[in-house]
Amino acid sequence: MFRFGTRNIASAISGSAACQRRALNVHEYSSKQLLKEQGASVEFGVMCESIEAVKAACAQIKTDKKVVKSQILAGGRGKGTFTDGYQGGVKVTSSTEEAVEVASKMLNNTLVTKQTGPQGIKVTKLFVTEAVKGITKELYVALVLDRAAYKPCFIVSTEGGMAIEEVAIEKPECIKKMHVDLNKGFDKAAAQKLATDLGLTEKTAQSLSTQMEAIYRLAKTKDATMVEINPLVVLEDESTMCIDAKLNFDDNAQFRRKDIWKHEDINQKDPKEIAAAKWDLQYIALDGEVGCMVNGAGLAMSTMDIISLYGAKPANFLDAGGSAQEDQIVAAFEIIASDKNVKVLLVNIFGGIVKCDMIANGIVAAVKKLSAKGGFNLPLVVRLSGTNEEAGKKILAESGLTITSCANLDEAGRVAADLAKKSA
E-strand stretches of 216-306: 224-235, 240-242, 246-250, 282-285, 290-294
Q: Count CB-CB contacts under 10 A for residue 321.
A: 18
Question: Do 10 and 189 contact (CB within 8 A), yes or no?
Answer: no
Torsional class of 416: left (φ above 0), alpha (ψ -120 to 50), beta (otherwise): alpha
Peptide bond into 231 cis (omega under 30): yes
140 classed as catalytic = yes
Cβ within 8 Å of residue 327, ≥6 positions away: 279, 362
Q: Is 358 helix (H, G, I), strand (E, B) or coil?
A: helix
Strands in 126-130's sheet, in edge-to-edge order, are 45-48, 126-130, 66-70, 90-93
150 is catalytic: no
Q: Given the residues 29, 140, 216, 283, select the one marked as catalytic.
A: 140
Which of these is catalytic: 228, 289, 334, 389?
A: 228
Q: What is the DSSP code string of 119-170?
A: T-EE---EEEEEPPP-EEEEEEEEEEEETTTTEEEEEEES-TTS-HHHHHHH
CA proximity to 206, closest of 220, 219, 196: 196
Residue 281, SS3?
A: coil
3-state secondary structure of 293: strand
- Vertex 55 angle, CA 54 and 56, to 5°: 90
DSSP readout, 75-122?
Answer: S--TT-EETTS-B-SEEEESSHHHHHHHHHHHTT-EEE-TTT-TT-EE
* DSSP three-state, residue 394: helix
Question: Active-site residue numbers?
Answer: 140, 228
